[in-house]
Structure 1
Amino acid sequence: MSSRARYPPPGMGGGGRGGFNSNAWPNPSFQPRNVSQQYVQRSEGQSNQFYQGHQAQEWLRRGQLPPADPTVDEVEKSVQSEAIDSSSHDWKSQLKLPPPDTRYKTEDVTATKGNEFEDYFLKRELLMGIYEKGFERPSPIQEESIPIALTGSDILARAKNGTGKTAAFCIPVLEKIDLDRNVIQAVILVPTRELALQTSQVCKELGKHLKIQIMVSTGGTSLKDDIMRLYQPVHLLVGTPGRILDLTKKGICVLNDCSMLVMDEADKLLSQEFQPSVEHLISFLPAQRQILMFSATFPVTVKDFKDRFLKKPYVINLMDELTLKGITQFYAFVEERQKVHCLNTLFSKLQINQSIIFCNSVNRVELLAKKITELGYSCFYIHAKMLQDHRNRVFHDFRNGACRNLVCT
């Protein structure tokens, strides 16, 4: 038995059994407290303090420092970080916010739960991009989609156009990308070149403080340029199924680490034109992947695809009707030969600032544009057989008010 065991600390009693030894007290008039009562009254916290103090003395006697308490370190770090945050300027005050959007908003975007973007614990750099884009609070589809997408679950979401669907998937995609890995980590599929450009622009604006490398790849553009771009770091790829599949089959677009696939306008991507390419493309993705599907309509093809490729998807349906609130639709049933006459009557009777007229074929677009011009109205047209640069220029001029009417597919 060691000497340390035979001589307990002062006040702990002698004899090796925890009992009280009266011979240890030189003053006969001294009346000690009941030892058992002393132990009962001592709180757990006091015992811990005594033990920790005794341990600290032991460490000092051995000339060593006690092991750091991780809990204490975390508290100290949080206090330090709070001090730094309080001493630094408020990051929101340094944002370059656009002018407030004073346009009238309908219930499609105002009927929210009252959440804030900061409630989702997003990176500060991403929050900066969100606020500088002019977003103040998440719309209903964003409130439903963002937190679920951040958990890694598959999503099948149905919401109207114009309610913030693009940001609903762009924000979680940007949040989940790891900048330290120079590989394609997410692919956003869209059915048209114009939508690919628009979506990539939203991603770039939201992620402008993140330094994420975003690439657009669509048919009708230079394949060589796409190949050269893929030799450089790309984190997020936005494009149409045919071109991305072509690059993937060539071994240039590597999707082994692509853990997220977004399908915008999913109903169109699952039409006969695109569905084989989409399904082939999915075969190049890893088994542990996340698929987010967004659409305004859910035909039978979407349900069939969901059953085959999505794993326990979270279904979001924010549509009781297709039309946005505040928009009135009129339907005129006329015979084929009366259509141009009906259009002419609308132009002459209504105060139309600008109009977009859709046709279902390239030939009809050119024919109708010619007839509208002959009626004396200014008219542009675009369709899929035009060069991309030409289409971009026409649409840019139309948006700037150079023409009153645009006919397109």
Structure 2
Amino acid sequence: MANDDGRFKNLRKALAERTGTNAGDWFPVFKARYGMQIVFEALRATRGAGSVITQLFTCCTAVDPIIVAGLTPRYADVDADTMAIDANAIDSLRVGADEQIHAVMLQHTFGAIASEEARRLADFTNGLNALLVEDCAHCATRMAHNEAGEPLADVSVHSFGVEKILPTRFGGAVWVNPHLAKRDPELDQAIRRGFAALAEPPKHVDTVTKIYVNENRVLSRLGSLGGRLRGVLTRAGWYEPPIADVERRGGLASQPMSVTPWIAAQAEHAIKALDTNEAGRREIVDAYRTAFSKCDHVTMPSVVTAGGPQPLLRFPLFARDTEAAERIITAVRAAGGYAERWYRPELFPGVTDPAAYGLDTLDRSTVTVSDRLVATALCLPTELGAGETARARTQTIIEAVLNTR
């Protein structure tokens, strides 16, 4: 059952052309997290109670849809070289004998795709008769592929939101592998029906998205007053925060929605400009890789050092300890650059109800690699303009990192 309702035809076509897929298998959503919710709700409805294997080195909004759908998040350790779930670590999870694993998350952290490891995780997931859900929030329109060059995942989730690859601030899309219709037709139809039933956001949401950039710019200039005003506007429904308070407690801020025509048009335009966007990021990623290859006080995951440079959303580094990571972040910012703490703390930016996420009963001995990455993580920008300006900014950041121990 293809997506043939005619809505957002141009956006779906742009996504399909970019990925070599069928436009009818793409479903635009207001935020990627709502697309995940539709998928997990369909899983819960067709397969009953069960769990989703995910990771701690991620954002809380990647786990909220699991909880909202009535499924249980189980945290597998990650591989330090891929920053994604280590298939070998899943066996150590505390999963009950009768507990059903319904899905496994494949996250391309910072937009880094580790193809061979992704295929191994897919094989493991298939052995469980579970759904492989690909989180492409950091690499919109880039997906893992099997050896035949076909998309690997059963479902692939892409974000156009704030601090993502596209400069759109809102929107996302979910791709449903047409092969799912043969493997599990009931689930495939439930997912597609869920997306087909989505309504467009109300008019005030359309207005909020259009004024977001200027609204945010004004509020940022107001300092602490701006922070208080954000809270007031958020409660009144006239400011859309990247992560709402409820989304740090295991919930979601609203019911799933599709995109508005304005968001769809913005996303379509940005997708068509991705070649230039990604080329600039690759150049900066390559400069970082070269500069830090012989640096003994930071490490880089092999997924970003092997092969050609990938157009990463952020460039990940891991310091010797938390204090060293903080010193580097401070030094980069003091030099006029920008460094961030993604994903520190775990389930970034940190949750306010650990029990809702099952963290109160988590055996930390099963997530030692995740704990180490969280404690030592920092990341650098990969979008710094173009030409000599970009190269100068990149060099400033590099020197700050190299000179700080």
TM-score w.r.t. the length of structure 2 is 0.33
Structure of higher CA gyration radius: 1
TM-score w.r.t. the length of structure 1 is 0.33
